Amino acid sequence: MVLRNALMDIRKMFMEKNSGLDIAVEFGPSGVLSRNIEKGQAVDLFISAGQKEIDRLADKGFILPDSRKSLVGNQMVVMLKKGLTMNYLADLTTDQFRNIVLPFPDKAPSGRYAKEMLIRLGLWDVLTEKQYFVDDVKQVVEAVAGGEADAGFAWYADIQATPGLDYYRIPQAAYEPVMVTAALPLYAEKNISAKKFLEYIASEEGIITLEKYGFTRPEQGQGAKRPHILWKFLTPSYEDDFVNALL
C-alpha cells in the first residue's frame, strides 16, 4: 500500500528527469507477481516487499546476475482495534482478541513473515482458530480499522500512513530481517532504461523518498540477530517452551 505510493513518487521524479520515457506499472502481492514472472510474464523490473521472492526467482534462474539491490527495511507491527492494547505477542492468545487477520502467507511477504515468526514462537497453532486471511496489507488495515478484526499483522510503514491507528511494534529480533528488494528479470537484459530506473530507485534521492513513507535504511531495518533473547517478548507462561524450541 505505502510502497506503491512511494514508488509512484519515484517513478514521477524519474520520468521528469527522462522526458519521453513512460513506465507502465503493475501492482499486486509480491508472491503473486513473482509467480507471474516464473510463468513467463514480460517484466523489466521486479520490486518485492520481501527478499525471499527475489531469492526464489534467482535460484530458478529468472533474475539477471548481480542486478538485485536491497533498498530499504520495513518492520512488523500488530495493528489493534481501537480500545485494545497488548504488551507481548502472546497477549493475542487472550480472550480480548477473537479475530486476527493476516495476509495469505503464500501471496504476501507480510503474511509469510508473520507465519514464520509465530511458528518460531510456538504461537501459530495456538492462534489457528482466531486467524483469517486476506490478500494484502491494505485489506488488513481496512479490516482492523473498520472493526471487523481485533488485530492484524501489517508493516510499520503502512501504519504510519494512516494516522490514529493503534498498534504494537514487534521487536525486530523476533523475526527475520525484512528488506524491500529489487532486481531485473531476464527479460530486461537489453533494457537500458530499466537498469537506469533501478539505479535511480537505489540512489540517495530514491532512498530519501522511501524514508518519507516510513521505510528505513538497510542498516536500520535489518533486525537484531539475537534469537536467544526472544523469550523476553513472551509472557512467562510461554518462556520455557520457546527457549527449548530454540535449542
DSSP 125-136: TTTGGGEEEESS
DSSP 247: -
Q: Which of 96, 238, 75 is nearest to 170 (CA)?
A: 75
C-alpha triplet 224, 107, 166: angle, nearest 5° = 55
Q: Is 137 annotated as a binding residue?
A: yes
Burial of 170 (0-12, 13-18, 19+ CB in 10 A): buried
Q: Is 126 annotated as a binding residue?
A: no
- The cell for 96 is 480480548
Q: Helix, strand, or coil here: 219?
A: helix
What is the helix (H) or strand (E) element at residue 183, kind and residue range?
Answer: strand 179-183
From CA 120, how far away is CA 174, in angstroms rounded? 9
CB neighbour list of residue 205: distance below 8 Å, 6 or more residues apart: 13
Reported for 41-45, long-range contacts at CB under 8 A and 24+ positions apart, including other chains, are 42/187, 43/185, 43/187, 43/188, 44/184, 44/185, 44/187, 44/188, 44/191, 44/193, 44/194, 45/182, 45/183, 45/184, 45/185, 45/188, 45/194, 45/197, 45/198
Known binding residues are 30, 137
User: Which residues define the annotated binding site for molybdate?
Assistant: 30, 137
